[in-house]
Amino acid sequence: MHFDSTSLTLISARDALRRGDFSARELVEACLGEIDRRDGDLGAFLGTRAEAALAEADQADLNLPLGGLPIALKDNLNLLGEPCSCGSKILEGYRAPYDATAVARLKAAGAIVVGRTNMDEFAMGSSTENSALGRTRNPHAPDRVPGGSSGGSAAAVGAGLVPAALGSDTGGSIRQPAAFCGCVGLKPTYGRVSRYGLVAYASSLDQIGPFTRTAADAALMLQAIAGHDPRDSTSLDTPVPDFSSGLGDGIKGLRIGLPKEYFSAAIDPAMRATIDRALQTLAGLGAELVELSLPHSEYVVASYYLIATAEASTNLARFDGVRYGHRSADAGDLLEQYHQSRGQGFGPEVKRRILLGTYVLSSGYYDAYYLKAQRVRTLIRRDFEQAFSKVDLIASPASPFPAFKAGEKTADPLQMYLADIFTLAANLAGIPGISLPCGRMAIDDEPGVELPVGLQLLGPACSEPTLLRAAHSFEQAGSS
């Protein structure tokens, strides 16, 4: 049977499989075919597992929630027997000795992993340009970046190569690339999804989540991966709600806060117009828009880059050339081996962050930087607690600008860090956030180019059902 796999959602593909319109093998073949044809240019994938995926498709149990559905994984998630590069040379030759819990749960739900996607090295970046393993292009404008750090997963879903993928979000790495590539990206509440088997960047901020074409698909993916895991002591030991059941209930009376600090920030004017239209759509659906303040917003970037780099500097100490990955060939003694293996294996941004993180944790500077940043983090968290005593959700752009040109921000790390001004706070506060496509914007000096714009919604801890319901209502309004 002939069908177009590039426009399928998980739910439409699942229904078609169950009706027998096509088989799981045909579906996986179609996705692999698209990857073969188009990924040479796009660069979303670091590797595929065609043979294994097809064999799994033949065995697929279509009664399972994700039975026979092809997905992709960001390459910092361990999948038994496969490479897990984290976009770095230092993990050359490493193969995952076990499945990450989120991956094991997707497999148990019947999903079929077709490949591993490109990312900024160790998830440090906002454009996927920090990958040591190749370039990923934006599916809507090939000279532009897909966002990052989960740029490969976002590009794969945005281009229709797969209906869904997993990413990780430490400061925006799901929501921002989703916005750049025109797909839905969900960062769950800290602890909602086990981090076991996710290579750690900043452990108090990291969270795994899905990229999909629709909110209903995001609900389906989250259902499969959420829940307590004895192997991750920070995973929440609370019941997992049914994320799909209330999707159609509408948002009449929902109070949505607009932080004045976010809306007075330098937002691209065409993007601002698109966001304003999206807010009007939400109002038209019965939501009440309320202006509010998150007074410590100006400290978010500084506090994030102190805490994230501090945690990264300790997490990345394990890559020493001894236990796994790249080992320098010509070191004279152990110390030289550490120096050379790490010097050769890590890229410049990772080195910058290890240096910064080591510095802020060093004796004498710990109190002035790391401890201070933790205190500011508490204030940022309180800002949200206050805000959520007045509103149900908070809305903002997912990023202050749309997908930028490759190379445009690589010379100045601070410019790159600003790509995340609207997403970082959710990780510091541990709250969930979703980015959803809310229209396209034209680019002044480039007639014909239309870039996706992402609306971000944030909610209090464990408010994923509300976030997904609002996102679903918004989608329905747009498509009716």
- Residues annotated as catalytic are 74, 149, 173
3-class state of residue 250 by DSSP: coil
Least distance CB 204 / ligand GLN (angstroms) = 13
CA dist., res. 438 & res. 478, Å (int): 8
Which helix (H) or strand (E) element contains residue 171?
none
Choice between 129 and 475, CB closer to ligand GLN: 129
**Member of 44, 103, 123, 133 binding ligand GLN (CB under 6 A):** 123
Least distance CB 208 / ligand GLN (angstroms) = 11
CA dist., res. 263 & res. 402, Å (int): 16
CA dist., res. 21 & res. 10, Å (int): 14
Least distance CB 168 / ligand GLN (angstroms) = 6
Site string for ligand GLN, 301-340 (x = CB under 6 A): -------x--------------------------------
Choice between 17 and 199, CB closer to ligand GLN: 199
125 near ligand GLN, judged by CB under 6 A:
yes
Choice between 56 and 420, CB closer to ligand GLN: 420
87 near ligand GLN, judged by CB under 6 A:
no
Helices and strands, number each (H, E), in the chain: 16, 11
3-class state of residue 447 by DSSP: strand
Choice between 309 and 463, CB closer to ligand GLN: 309
Whether the CA torsion 386, 398, 223, 15 is positive or negative: it is positive
CA dist., res. 94 & res. 14, Å (int): 34
Choice between 337 and 399, CB closer to ligand GLN: 399
124 near ligand GLN, judged by CB under 6 A:
yes
- For the CA atoms of the chain, what is the radius of gyration? 21
Of the listed pieces 165-173, 224-232, 332-340, 468-476, which binds ligand GLN according to CB under 6 A? Answer: 165-173
Least distance CB 462 / ligand GLN (angstroms) = 21
172 near ligand GLN, judged by CB under 6 A:
yes
**Member of 22, 94, 190, 201 binding ligand GLN (CB under 6 A):** 201
Residue linked to tokens 């916005």: 179
Residue linked to tokens 């996927």: 128
171 near ligand GLN, judged by CB under 6 A:
yes
Q: What is 99-164 written as a DSSP string? A: --HHHHHHHHTT-EEEEEE--SGGG--SSSTT-SS----BTTBTTB---SSSHHHHHHHHTTSSSE
153 near ligand GLN, judged by CB under 6 A:
no
**Member of 48, 173, 194, 463 binding ligand GLN (CB under 6 A):** 173
CA dist., res. 187 & res. 153, Å (int): 14
Least distance CB 266 / ligand GLN (angstroms) = 18
β-bridge mates for residue 110, sequence order: none
Least distance CB 48 / ligand GLN (angstroms) = 23
**Member of 149, 214, 396, 399 binding ligand GLN (CB under 6 A):** 149
Query: Which residues between 406 and 445 bind ligand GLN (CB under 6 A)?
Result: 420
Number of residues that bind ligand GLN (CB under 6 A): 13
Starting at the edge strand that comes first in sequence, how are the strands of the sheet with 184-187 ordered? Answer: 45-48, 112-117, 70-74, 164-168, 208-212, 184-187, 433-443, 446-458, 393-397, 255-259, 288-292
Amino acid at 122: F
85 near ligand GLN, judged by CB under 6 A:
no
Residue ranges binding ligand GLN (CB under 6 A) = 123-126, 149, 169-173, 201, 308, 420
